[in-house]
Amino acid sequence: MNPTTLELPASELKTALTGLSKVISKRTTLPILGHIRVTRSPTGVVTLQATDLDSTVTYRAEQPDHGEPCEFLAPFEPLNKLVKGSKGPVQLIVEAQDKLRFRTAIGSSQMEQAFPTLKPDEFPPIPTVEGKPLAMDATLRDAFREALDCCSEDGSRHVLQHVCLDPRNRDGHYVAATNGRHLYAANSFQFDLKQPVLIPDRPFLHWAKFMEDGVGQLSVKPATKKEMPWLKLQSGPWTLLTKSTDAEFPNWRQVVPAAESSLTMVQLDASAVATLIAGVPKLPGHDEFNRPVRLEVTKDRVIVQAQTKDDTEWTQLTIEGARITGQPINIGLNRDYLLKALRFGLTTWDFTDDRSPMVFSEAGRRMVVMPLGAPKAPEDAQPAPPAATQSSAPNPQPINPPVSESTPPAQPQPTNTMPKETPTIPTETATPETSPVKAVIQHIEQIKETLKGVLKEFAEVMDGLKQLEKEKKASDKEMDSVREKLREIQAVRI
């Protein structure tokens, strides 16, 4: 077989490999998934592909590389390491179906390295997705990426690991996503879709280089009796083929409070947003469960407060530059969701009460967040319960509203903190009948965390056993060698 040479600029190859790395796992039991497929068409168009079986990313080179048509596989890691230090063009030389050579310039010197590879017919087949494409512009791209950031990371809640393009509202179609504790929804779109489409949360979709210019297309292959639906997203030189799901997305609209239910509204200017983004991460309590902060909204300002379990006083951040209408309110919130809403530019806040979902909004985009309740100041808090009862479920009775200093405080109630994975769909407030359920959910979460630790320890023990097994084999080999020498010595006759 005569060698076949394919050449690509190092800078372009670096960009291509960065994108392809989003679907290549560093830990895979299938060697083929650690390779990329390189093809050159009769017209000189070069494409590079990588897959993890659920998703396939394809990059099309900007400039043609004229030569004979070819197809081969290249090991990703060696090629990626070689390209990082390369300054000139990179040549991929195919010497045989299972042998490949890389050649490039490192500084002023030529570097050449040979690698074994796999045959191209071992690469998994790629499905075809046809149909009328849906145009995606920069506005939809930005809303989609914000929605991706709100998907669930819990593998047991598979459908929540998708962004929903929802065309069921005639007035305007939506982009929606949730992890069960906060929800993102953006409207004012018009999708040429008959049914909702669920786009899975893939690392490649978070990559800034994909849809960099804000122009893209989405094509859908509907589900059949034999396989799940497939999606194709194209933008510039990139194409993503990914498997979706035919599961039904939750009825997310039922958790969005009606606009007329808002009793308090806060509108922030640019200086207030900058102060919050810079100041909230510095507040204490970032290692506490649910990472809570307390929002105290008065008639003329917003105060963000936080403390650790050991603190006797609250650390507070006073925000000027907020326009407030409605009643004062005191509400607890996960600081991560507060900062996320600020990064999204959602500068209008709507409150109903301290136990109803809080809504961050701006120009057709909304993020609905379930509160943690209204944390009480240390002087209003109850004494800690005895150690034997500290693990019991929190009392779900309604929290008393904040009282002024001149009013005697009512009977204090425990803070209504939200368990780590308690879903907010639906958002009915807790009742005494649901407290055992909350206790069971909280207990399950504790068991899950314990099991994670146990599995990690098991993995460490297995690694240790494997190392001992290697040492034992080496020791046995040395002993066999010693015994053989002794036999040779014993056989010597003088």
For residue range 326-363, list pLDDT tens digits in order: 999 999 999 999 999 999 999 999 999 988 999 999 99
pLDDT of residue 380: 44
Which range of residues forms the domain containing residue 150? 134-253
| Residue 150 reports pLDDT greater than 90 | yes
Clarify whether residues 287 and 349 are in a common domain: yes
Among 76, 102, 122, where does a domain finish? 122
| Residue 392 reports pLDDT greater than 80 | no
pLDDT of residue 482: 67
Clarify whether residues 209 and 275 are in a common domain: no
| Residue 198 reports pLDDT greater than 50 | yes
Clarify whether residues 175 and 241 are in a common domain: yes
Q: Which residue in 235, 86, 248 sits closest to 159, CA to CA?
A: 248
Clarify whether residues 290 and 416 are in a common domain: yes
Clarify whether residues 157 and 228 are in a common domain: yes
Clarify whether residues 419 and 289 are in a common domain: yes
pLDDT of residue 266: 96
pLDDT of residue 6: 94
| Residue 101 reports pLDDT greater than 50 | yes
Among 253, 279, 302, where does a domain finish? 253
Residue 127 domain-assigned (yes or no): no
Using pLDDT thresholds of 50, 70 and 90, give the confidence band for residue 260: confident
pLDDT of residue 385: 44
pLDDT of residue 421: 39
Q: Which residue in 245, 243, 244, 237 sits closest to 20, CA to CA?
A: 237
Give Cα separations from 312 to 121, 231, 304, 315 (angstroms): 68, 54, 16, 10
Mean pLDDT, the chain, as a whole number?
83
Instruction: For residue 308, give both structure tokens.
Output: 């650790």
Residue 163 domain-assigned (yes or no): yes
CB 167 within 8 A of CB 191: yes
pLDDT of residue 261: 87
Residue 154 domain-assigned (yes or no): yes
- Range of weakest confidence among 71-80, 91-100, 299-308: 91-100
Higher per-residue confidence, 380 vs 1? 1
pLDDT of residue 130: 87
Clarify whether residues 341 and 212 are in a common domain: no
CB 187 within 8 A of CB 364: yes
CB 142 within 8 A of CB 346: no
| Number of domains observed in the structure of the chain | 4
| 457 contact partners, CB below 8 Å, separation of at least 6 | none
d(CA 374, CA 353): 9
pLDDT tens readout for residues 355-370: 899 999 999 999 999 9
Clarify whether residues 65 and 33 are in a common domain: yes
In this prediction, residues 250-262 reach a mean pLDDT of 88
| Residue 262 reports pLDDT greater than 50 | yes
In this prediction, residues 67-90 reach a mean pLDDT of 90
pLDDT of residue 23: 95
pLDDT of residue 449: 66
In this prediction, residues 247-254 reach a mean pLDDT of 92
In this prediction, residues 74-86 reach a mean pLDDT of 90
| Placement of tokens 């490649």 in the chain | 204
pLDDT of residue 438: 59
In this prediction, residues 178-200 reach a mean pLDDT of 93
pLDDT tens readout for residues 396-434: 333 333 333 334 444 444 343 333 434 444 433 333 444
Q: What is the radius of gyration, based on Cα positions, of the chain?
A: 30
CB 400 within 8 A of CB 330: no
Residue 357 domain-assigned (yes or no): yes
Residue 401 domain-assigned (yes or no): no
pLDDT of residue 219: 96
pTM, full prediction: 0.74
pLDDT of residue 448: 67
Give Cα separations from 316 to 7, 302, 338, 341 (angstroms): 60, 10, 15, 20
Residue 128 domain-assigned (yes or no): no
Among 253, 277, 292, where does a domain finish? 253
Clarify whether residues 286 and 197 are in a common domain: no
The percent of residues above 70 in pLDDT, for the chain, comes to 79
In this prediction, residues 59-82 reach a mean pLDDT of 93
CB 357 within 8 A of CB 370: yes
Clarify whether residues 144 and 189 are in a common domain: yes
The percent of residues above 90 in pLDDT, for the chain, comes to 58
Dihedral angle sign, alpha carbons of residues 123, 129, 130, 133: negative
In this prediction, residues 123-128 reach a mean pLDDT of 92
pLDDT of residue 452: 65
In this prediction, residues 173-183 reach a mean pLDDT of 95
Higher per-residue confidence, 486 vs 309? 309
| Residue 179 reports pLDDT greater than 80 | yes
pLDDT of residue 86: 85
Give Cα separations from 248 to 178, 196, 202, 218, 362 (angstroms): 13, 9, 19, 20, 28
pLDDT of residue 311: 87
| Residue 152 reports pLDDT greater than 60 | yes
Residue 387 domain-assigned (yes or no): no
pLDDT tens readout for residues 447-468: 766 776 667 666 666 766 777 7
Clarify whether residues 296 and 421 are in a common domain: yes
pLDDT of residue 404: 38
Report the CATH number at residue 52. 3.10.150.10
Residue 129 domain-assigned (yes or no): no
Using pLDDT thresholds of 50, 70 and 90, give the confidence band for residue 51: very high
Clarify whether residues 418 and 302 are in a common domain: yes
